Amino acid sequence: MKLTIVEYPDRKLREKSKKVEVFDEKLHKLLDAMHPFMIKTNGIGLAAIQVAYATQVLVLNIPDEDGEQPKENLLEIINPVITSKNGSTVYQEGCLSVPSFYEDIQRSETISINYQDRDGNTKTLDADGLLSIAIQHEIDHLDGILFIDKLSYSRRKKFEKEYKRMLKEKKSSK
């Protein structure tokens, strides 16, 4: 399965992703393609909508202390629901769908989620640190929300200006 990234300002990123009802080979094929794609593109988290599949599917692989992303640390999260949130933290986020732009974003410090694995088994997960931030970022994608939507009015304007300039440069260098 060949995947390509959907980039801002594509309206596809604003779609709400549908709950997964059937845990079949089609789902497994998507998950099996998303993980290497995310690693190849230097990502730590990827939502299916970022590769044009509007289903509630996420993959996350948080780097360890050596910066490695071993497959044992891969998390496949389907139909996630946040059941509790606590505290507040700020982290400089980036997104494969908004390349070359990083901004400080405020999120809950710790979260608990319910979700399903690739076989439909129900799981719970308590997350803190970068994992908590990345899960919140990815769950936002399922609702059509991007991290840039959380910027203040002035920072959002700065982003729009910088991003337009970047797209223009990209176009003229082709």
Q: Hey, is 55 helix, strand or coil?
A: strand
In angstroms, rounded to a whole number, what is the distance separating the alpha carbons of residues 24 and 38?
22
Shortest distance, CB of residue 117 to ligand Y12, whole angstroms? 20
Shortest distance, CB of residue 160 to Co ion, whole angstroms? 18
Tell me, letter by letter, the H, E, C secondary structure of 72-83: HHCEEEEEEEEE
Q: Encode burial over 118-149: b for 16+ CB neighbours within 10 A, e otherwise.
A: beeeeeebebeeebbbbbbbbbbbbebebbbe
List the catalytic residue out of 65, 138, 162, 169.
138
103 is catalytic: no
Binding to ligand Y12, residues 147-166 (CB under 6 A): none
- Indicate whether 73 belongs to the interface with ligand Y12 (CB under 6 A): no
Binding to ligand Y12, residues 29-58 (CB under 6 A): 41-45
Shortest distance, CB of residue 135 to Co ion, whole angstroms? 12
Residue nearest to ligand Y12 (CB): 43
- The answer to whether 116 touches 69, Cβ cutoff 8 Å, is no
Contact positions vs ligand Y12 (CB under 6 A): 41-45, 91, 93-96, 99-100, 133-134, 137
Q: Catalytic site residues?
A: 138
